[in-house]
Amino acid sequence: MLDYGCVPEHMRGGVRRYIENGIPPGHFLTAVLSNDFVGAIGRADEVNKERFGDWALFLYNELPGRGSYRQDCWGSREAVKNWIKVGGLRGLEEKEEDDGL
């Protein structure tokens, strides 16, 4: 189970929907997940501007990616696009069941 505790409270629903179900996030979260620092800064509200360190910890320590799953869910626009396409963790689990894994 992922620990969403370091994510600003008002962002937890969006990031959870994206991770678990592949629901497209808003512009700020898409920039964060895509490693678009400049885009994220430009779209951040006051809370998120102060919490970039927490976002970095969350991405690195909590999110599927960097070899922990068959597919990364963050790190580039392509990874975000593919995560949405597969349907998040739920979609990956269903695919694995269909593939007999």
pTM: 0.88
User: What size, in residues, is the chain?
Assistant: 101
Query: Token match 């349907």: residue?
Result: 87
Q: Are the beta carbons of 6 and 57 closer than 8 angstroms?
A: yes
Along the 101 residues of the chain, how does pLDDT read in single tens digits? 889 999 999 999 999 999 999 999 999 999 999 999 999 999 999 999 999 999 999 998 888 765 555 678 999 999 999 999 999 999 988 887 777 75
